[in-house]
Amino acid sequence: MQRIETDVLVIGAGMAGLTAAARALDLGTSVVVVEKSDTVGGSARFAGYAWTAPGRAVMDEVNPDGDPVLRNALVDGFADGIAWIRALGVHCADSVPVLRYGRGHRFDTNQYIDECRRRVSTGGQLFTGTETLALRTEDGAVTGARVRRPDGTEIEIVSTAVVLATGGFQADGELVAEHIHPRAGEMQVRSNPVSAGAGLRLAENVGAATGMSRSGFYGHLVPTRVPFRDPSDFVALSLYYSEHALLFNLGNRRFTDETLGDHLTAMRLLDQPEARGLLVADERVYREWVLGSYVEGAVAVDKFELTQRRGGRCGIAETLEDFAYLPPEWGYDGAAVAEQIRQVNAAGTAVRPARAHDIAPLDTGPYYIIETCPALTFPFHGIRIDATARVLSAGGGTIPGLFAAGSDAGGLYHHAYAGGIAPALVFGLAAADAAAALPSPHDGTAPAAAST
């Protein structure tokens, strides 16, 4: 079996993994990156913003049940993460509002990924199409991994530190049913299709702590019966405007406070009968929010027109009385839905099922109706880590030599969300910084040559 020695082994070449690898090289350590897919970038290829809560107080308010250590570490490390992106020569725009409570920066994630890959390919080693079979351990510490190349060749990689960054487990139906919701495996996946829990399984096999189960997921509402054709649909078909609209379940009732955000409404809809519902906007919401940009600088897409063109369940009611003509095969009582809208228009906050923000009346026809369901981007359950991305042991303390970042890590969010690229960036950097500080038995030269 071929053997390679390196200071840092990174498993996964998405946002978190390539960030950790590029930073570790910048700190003078030797690096090997192993990626299961034939390409790098993962779900970061489909993103465009790094954002999170602007301070600890806001993070505590919007994510009260997340791990406070990780919440604080994310907020505190965000500015340094943005500085790191810019230090790599990647343009990162000025801060803009994201959702109601966040601040973030638009940047070219593809340029960032490609620059990190260039640095890794030049200064370290990158193996694509390569499966990680098992972590290597000695005296309770993780000391590398055994991997298999596409031609079947196995390689033993000996390292001082291992960073798990495989992107979560959204592509594994059994894991999402176990850790998110029994029906979660029925959701479309709006992220890369190769993140199927490799990092979670590797960590559990060496005694890592994981959790928190049933803590939710990040996703968005999308039209029912409209499959994703390509990654551009992940954004194009997401009904971000739902926080300005009203959502009704198959019982013709509102069941959540839509103003809390589309990402939270998606989680709530998964709990409803058949995980589908009617999303209703009036002419004002259509003009101001459906036709507008979700985030400043983003390209606007007419979600209703796209849904209609792609054959989704949608329609226009000129008046509330016209709701009575909803197709019966959809399973809703249109008159009952219209009556709920009238109550909201008449009573405002008095009929809201939750707290937080006022619902503006939907009282200006025509009404734009889309049947919607949740789609999954990544789960919040994962490998437990500390503020420096060290993996926690199920038996207490940390597992020496093992780190995790990105969607592999769990505990940060619990039925709440404040960014996905930002945690990958912040904890990818933290993992590299902590790994580079470990004493290395190697001489710091480049790892032994091997074909890639």
Tokens of 72: 């604080």
Judged by DSSP in three states, 196 sits in: coil
Does residue 71 contact residue 60 with C-beta atoms inside 8 Å? yes
Render 207-266 in DSSP notation, one character per residue.
TB-EE-TT--EEEEEEETT----STTHHHHT--GGGGGSEEE-TTS---S-GGG-HHHHH
CATH code for 2-214+380-436? 3.50.50.60
> 15-26 and 421-436 helices cross at what angle (nearest 10)?
30
Rounded Cα distance between 426 and 55, Å, is 15
pLDDT, mean of each 10-residue run, the chain (452 residues)? 96 98 98 97 89 97 97 98 98 92 95 98 98 97 98 97 98 96 95 94 98 93 97 94 96 95 96 97 95 74 96 98 97 97 78 52 95 98 98 97 98 97 98 94 44 34
CB contact burial 103-129 (16+ within 10 A = b; e otherwise): bbbbbebeebbbbbbebbeebbbbbbe
Two tokens at 160?
């001082």
Q: What is the pLDDT of residue 299?
A: 74
Class of residue 246 by CB neighbours under 10 A (exposed 0-12, middle 13-18, buried 19+): buried
Number of H helices, E strands in the chain: 12, 20
- Among the listed residues 73, 179, 56, 62, the one whose alpha carbon sits nearest the alpha carbon of residue 416: 62
Return the axis-axis angle of helices 109-123 and 15-26, rounded to nearest 10°.
50
Main-chain dihedrals φ then ψ at residue 329, nearest 5 degrees? -70, -15
101 near 58, Cβ under 8 Å?
A: yes
Residue 61, Cα to own-chain centre: how many angstroms?
20
- How many whole angstroms separate alpha carbon 262 and alpha carbon 33? 35
Query: What b/e sequence results for 281-311 when a residue is b if at least 16 CB atoms lie within 10 Å of its CB, and e otherwise?
Result: bbbebbeebbeeebbeeeeebebbebbbebe
**What local confidence, expressed as pLDDT, does residue 213 receive?**
80
Structure tokens belonging to residue 429:
């950097």
* CA–CA separation, 414 and 76 (whole Å): 19
For the chain, give every domain's residue range: 2-214+380-436, 219-375
Q: What is the CA angle 48-49-50, rounded to 5?
A: 140
H-only helix segments in 95-172: 109-123
Is the distance from CB of 17 to CB of 163 less than 8 angstroms?
A: yes
Task: Characterize the bridge pairing of strands 154-164 and 398-404.
Answer: parallel
Helix (H, G, I), strand (E, B) or coil at 384: strand
Pair of tokens at residue 303: 């979600």
The letter for the amino acid at 281 is: A
User: Which pLDDT value is given to residue 157?
Assistant: 98
Query: Alpha-carbon torsion 32, 35, 38, 43, what sign?
Result: negative
Architecture of domain 219-375: Alpha-Beta Complex (3.90)
SS3 125: strand
Structure tokens belonging to residue 227: 């499959």
Residue for token pair 């030269």: 445
Kindly state the DSSP code that residue 205 receives in the 8-state scheme.
T
Name the residue type at position 161. A
Tell me if 2-214+380-436 shares its fold with 219-375.
no
pLDDT of residue 343: 92
Q: What is the CA radius of gyration of the chain?
A: 23
Tokens of 119: 């640095």
How many C-beta neighbours within 10 Å does residue 87 have? Answer: 11
The conformation of residue 412, written as its DSSP 8-state character, comes to: S
Query: Are 38 and 352 a contacting pair, CB within 8 Å?
Result: no
Question: Nearest to residue 81, comparing CAs of 16, 167, 9, 162?
Answer: 16
Amino acid at 319: T
The total of other beta-carbon atoms located within 10 Å of residue 347's CB is 12
Is the separation of the CB atoms in 338 and 324 below 8 Å?
Answer: yes
